[in-house]
Structures are given as C-alpha cells and as structure tokens.
Amino acid sequence: MEKKNSSYETLFIVDLSVGEDGVKSLVEKFTKLISDNGEITEINEWGKRRLAYPINDLNEGYYVLVNYTAPADFPLELDRVFNITEGIMRSMTLNRNA
C-alpha cells in the first residue's frame, strides 16, 4: 500500500546564544532533515524576533517557518529530534490538511 503524504507547517525557534554560525547550522540541519524525508515547498526565515514570553530567561530567538509534504509518521520523528537538540527553544508542527 502506498504511503500518503500530508502537508505540514513547522515553526521552530533557535536560541541566539549558540551564535550566528550555530543558528545557521541548526537551520541547515533541520531543513536538510525535512527535505530528506519529504518535499519542502517553502522556507521562510523570519529571523531574530522578540518572544511573546521569556523562555529559559531569554527574550529573543531566531524563527524559521517551513512548509512541506511528508509521510504521516515523519512529524513525530522531527519533534523527537527537536526535543533532543541543544539550541532549539521551541517547535510546533501543524497538519495543513486537517
């Protein structure tokens, strides 16, 4: 049976304390992970923004929004990798088909 791909939107916030090169490498790491497991339709780097509330006593982060299509089991794996990666403050994935 063929796996059906769904459309997803993932927003993640990178901790600015990892430095400019660290932010760039984390963005590249996750966009590569997504492209290896699905098809990216759009990457929108919002850049450095003020957080709505402090996270770990920090008030700013680097926002990245990625729209993509992938198999239904991939967002859980992506979320797992976000949670174990140092330098990722928050992440959220939405299914755009629902």
**Collapsing DSSP states into helix, strand and coil, what is residue 95?**
strand
**Total domains present in the chain:** 1
Q: Measure CA 89 to chain center.
A: 10
Q: Measure CA 76 to chain center.
A: 12
**Collapsing DSSP states into helix, strand and coil, what is residue 39?**
strand
pLDDT per position in the chain (98 positions), as tens? 457 889 999 999 999 999 999 999 999 999 999 999 999 999 999 999 999 999 989 999 999 999 999 999 999 999 999 999 999 999 999 999 86
The reported pLDDT for the residue numbered 78 is: 96
* Domain span including residue 19: 5-95
The reported pLDDT for the residue numbered 88 is: 96
The reported pLDDT for the residue numbered 94 is: 95
Q: How far apart are CA 78 and CA 33, in angstroms?
A: 8
The reported pLDDT for the residue numbered 4 is: 82
Domain with 10 in it: what CATH number?
A: 3.30.70.60
